[in-house]
């Protein structure tokens, strides 16, 4: 079994396919409800199969934070909420193979969007490290 992180950006299609790239804040309440129901049903199925580790939606608020030197408070820059940078949520799955992770990401990408058509969202799929990398000389 391998764990993967699915990052949801709510960035649907390639830049040359703008007709499908309608931000969620411009969807009708019924379209948002249908999308969320699809997401919940998907998570329930993975929970039942034992493939869901955890998932969370994220608030739109956020800050960039960095260390600013010894004895100084951290520096923040924000809030920011450019939708192109917004991570809307994440899901961690535990699956038998990368092929299964890709299959599930493709299915999640088909969640309904504006007009009830598949949103075709680009999802970021990344394996979790199971152990710290080793350095050899």
For the stretch 56-115, pLDDT in tens is 988 877 777 788 889 988 877 766 555 445 688 899 999 999 999 999 999 999 999 888
pLDDT reported for residue 17: 59
Question: The CATH number of the domain where 74 resides is what?
Answer: 3.30.70.1060
The answer to whether residue 121 sits within a structural domain is yes
Expressed as residue numbers, the domain containing 27 is 2-127
The total domain count for the chain is 1
Torsion sign across C-alpha atoms 29, 34, 35, 40: positive
String of DSSP letters for 66-100: E--STTSPPEEE-----TTT---EEEEEEES-HHH
136 domain residue, yes or no: no
């Amino acid at each position: 079994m391998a764990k993967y992180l699915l990052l949801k950006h709510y960035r649907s299609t390639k830049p040359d396919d703008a007709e499908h790239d309608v931000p969620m804040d411009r969807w009708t309440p019924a379209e948002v409800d249908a999308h969320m129901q699809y997401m919940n049903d998907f998570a329930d199925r993975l929970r039942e199969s034992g493939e869901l580790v955890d998932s969370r939606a994220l608030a739109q608020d956020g800050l960039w934070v960095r260390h600013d030197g010894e004895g100084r408070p951290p520096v923040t820059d924000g809030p920011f909420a450019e939708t192109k940078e917004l991570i809307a949520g994440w899901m961690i799955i535990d699956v038998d193979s990368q092929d299964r992770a890709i299959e599930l990401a493709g299915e999640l990408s088909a969640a309904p969007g504006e007009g009830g058509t598949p949103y075709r969202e680009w999802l970021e799929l990344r394996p979790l490290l199971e152990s710290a990398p080793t350095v050899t000389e």
